[in-house]
Amino acid sequence: MPQNIRNIAIIAHVDHGKTTLVDAMLRQSGIFRDNQTITERIMDSNDLEKERGITILSKNLSISHGDLKINVVDTPGHADFGGEVERVLKMVDSVLLLVDAFDGPMPQTRFVLKKSLDLGHQPIVVINKIDRPGARPEQVVDMVFDLFCELNADEQQLDFPIVYTNAKAGHATLDPKAPKDNLEDLFQLIGNEVSPPKVDPEAPFQMLVTSIAYNDYLGRIATGKISNGRVSAGQTIAVVKKDGQVTKGRISKLIGFDGLQQIEIQEAVAGDIICIAGFEDVGISETFADAEHPVALPYVAIDEPTLSMNFMVNSSPFAGQEGKYVTSRVIRERLQKELRTNVSLRVEDTDNTDTFKVSGRGELHLSILIENMRREGFELAVSKPEVILRDIDGVSCEPMEFLTIDVPEEHQGTVIEKLGTRKAEMVAMHPMDGINRLEFIIPARGLIGFRTEFLTDTRGTGVMNHTFHEYGPFKGAIPGRKNGVLLALESGETVAYSLFSLQERGILFVNAGVKVYEGMIIGENAKQNDLVVNACKGKKLTNVRASGSDEAIRITTPRTLSLEQALEYIDEDELVEITPTSIRLRKKYLDANERKRYEKTRG
């Protein structure tokens, strides 16, 4: 049985076509009926994944091709979800490294590839989108080879097999000059190049838990690869905790994969990827083992979080009006529930019972959690993201990011100048047909709030990607937001007449007819100081009419900030108020006198 199994993970940068390739493999494996309706990006299962076009959670499926059973893990491409990738790489025996035929390897490709090379995997390189205008597959293969050398790949790993694909059309070929109309070459390559799992079916049962899901009917469901032995439904097995403690229990359900579906099975053998239900207290990186020989497997160490922010109970005048769950108790329960499955997350209590310090791998990692919570009906306020400093050999160190920027030549000078003030160091520049690729090492702090500025400076033509590089010595102060904000003077509803005169003062964030409260941020001031303004003042009515002036009120379309933009925008003395229907910016201290007292203590 293990000889017929191939376990592979697909790794790639965001938007290089991982999920699309998995779709094509599923279609050509004969899993679907001819008349079955199939959506695009089948593996993107939750709403946020479909909306954003990114993979957030790793997912398993199995494809049958002839005698082979190919277990495929679709992994996230964004470095913020690297914790998902690091775990699942322990389940597989090889990886498909998917690279765009135009972009070449990007920073987040580098991050995941390094993890898989360190585990000794022999990657198969897939050059995707060979039909794309400007595709340059030969140069991209050279770039991939250079990346392997940089990451200290051994000789066997450097001799990687290559396949060229157009995932959207479902085509794969070993020679780009001889195109084919199916994925047969890819399936053959997986069968020939990926080694069967190195396992012993006759040894005592062992399985490392690499991911956890929750089901209302079955409870916790643990997924992993059987490293040794075999297991049956209803069997009594042991759980070996990280601290060496052993407990025993009975398997209530044994679940295997058939295509996209999870099916109940009676027995599974070493090498296969399965799910086990019936153990409420099992955690990630713990071992299921034979009840008579409870021996733990080595678990994968996951990189620590680099960014933290405070989640707190919403204390604004509008608290409880739009959300269902508003108290600290329900917020705590929701964060504890998230910890069961989100291994890269950390939650700590603070001195204040209404505030929790939540740490994650990056802004996107935390903003996805916040977005999920607000969709579930939660209402909360969050503070500005802060990097997590570490003391290494007596030196205060901060997380550094490897930043790649593709920018047209005319905007290059502005971008380099802006990054210079944010303590970035340029390490390389690669010209590419009118667009230059710039590579920097920059403190993670320097990237907070930079994306919006970058898109404005490059008129939307620039592309930036970054991934965690290493911890380096603290670089010193980085200038924050240059402009102050416009603050509402009183509670009420905004009036077009007031906003018309206020728009000369800066950029508005609210339209007419929006409810505001004292201390709420309604715009950005053109100057450096904060300005308290009255946006609720209506025009005094008289019997005298001035022809034309009443109709001449024109309000510029306000700037609407997304959740990520709002988190990047706020300063240390500000919060983002998040409800199921609204995202508002506000000062921590709504009362003007309290703000003055706070400024005195800070200054």
Summarize the annotated binding site as residue ranges: 15-20, 128-131
Cα 371 to Cα 583: distance, rounded to the nearest angstrom: 11
Residue 471 CB partners (closer than 8 Å, separation 6+): 390, 392, 397, 398, 399, 400
Annotated binding site for GTP: 15-20, 128-131
Phi and psi angles of residue 294, each rounded to the nearest 5 degrees, phi first: -75, 85
| Contact assessment for residue 331 and residue 379, using Cβ atoms and an 8 Å cutoff | no
**Concatenated DSSP letters of 173-212:** ESSTTS--SSSHHHHHHHHHHSPPP--BTTSPPEEEEEEE
| Contact assessment for residue 291 and residue 236, using Cβ atoms and an 8 Å cutoff | yes
The secondary structure element, H or E, covering residue 563 is helix 563-569
Three-state DSSP class for residue 249? strand
CA neighbor of 550 nearest in space, from 559, 558, 542: 542
Cα 53 to Cα 91: distance, rounded to the nearest angstrom: 25
| Contact assessment for residue 439 and residue 486, using Cβ atoms and an 8 Å cutoff | no
Three-state DSSP class for residue 50? helix
Largest separation between any pair of C-alpha atoms in the chain: 97
Which tokens hold the place of 508?
A: 């508005």
Strand partners, 401: 442, 468
Cα 52 to Cα 390: distance, rounded to the nearest angstrom: 33
Phi and psi angles of residue 225, each rounded to the nearest 5 degrees, phi first: -100, 135
Cα 454 to Cα 462: distance, rounded to the nearest angstrom: 7
Pairing of strands 307-313, 380-383: antiparallel
Cα 472 to Cα 445: distance, rounded to the nearest angstrom: 12
Cα 325 to Cα 330: distance, rounded to the nearest angstrom: 6
| Contact assessment for residue 33 and residue 219, using Cβ atoms and an 8 Å cutoff | no
Cα 124 to Cα 186: distance, rounded to the nearest angstrom: 10
| Contact assessment for residue 98 and residue 22, using Cβ atoms and an 8 Å cutoff | no
| Contact assessment for residue 62 and residue 71, using Cβ atoms and an 8 Å cutoff | yes
Three-state DSSP class for residue 283? coil
Residue 540 CB partners (closer than 8 Å, separation 6+): none
CA neighbor of 261 nearest in space, from 32, 4, 419: 32
Our CA dihedral for 559, 561, 567, 572, rounded to 10 degrees, sits at 30
Q: How far is CA 501 from the centre of its chain?
A: 41
Give the CA radius of gyration of the chain. Answer: 27
- Looking at residue 80, the DSSP 8-state letter turns out to be G
Our CA dihedral for 245, 250, 252, 255, rounded to 10 degrees, sits at 70
Q: How far is CA 190 from the centre of its chain?
A: 28
Q: How far is CA 11 from the centre of its chain?
A: 14
